Amino acid sequence: MACNSFSVEKGASTPNIIQAETKKLMMSIAAKVILLYDASKMGRTSFALFAPLHAIETIVTDAIGAEDRAHLEESGIEVLTAD
């Protein structure tokens, strides 16, 4: 799923609380949680958190800094970059 904002401290968020609740429900029945976002979403937070780090298994993004990547991987999250 996609997100409007992502922070390595807080996780994935969106400004829309209804979307956040829907995404939480989707995650509760998913076999695997894969988060997709572009680099412009990194380091931001929105009103409604829907996925803390411990709930995310894989992140797919176009670019990520080495320090952020290391933090996520240390948290057990697989990080994939699309070229």
83: pLDDT strictly greater than 80: no
- SS3 call for 54: helix
- Give the model confidence (pLDDT) of 4-48 as tens digits: 999 999 999 999 999 999 999 999 999 999 999 999 999 999 999
The number of distinct structural domains making up the chain is 1
Structural domain of residue 9, as residue ranges? Answer: 5-81
Long-range contact set of residues 22-29: C-beta below 8 Å, sequence gap at least 24: 23/50, 23/51, 24/50, 24/51, 26/1, 27/1, 27/51, 27/55
Please name the residues in contact with 38: beta carbons below 8 A apart, sequence gap of 6 or more. 61, 62, 63
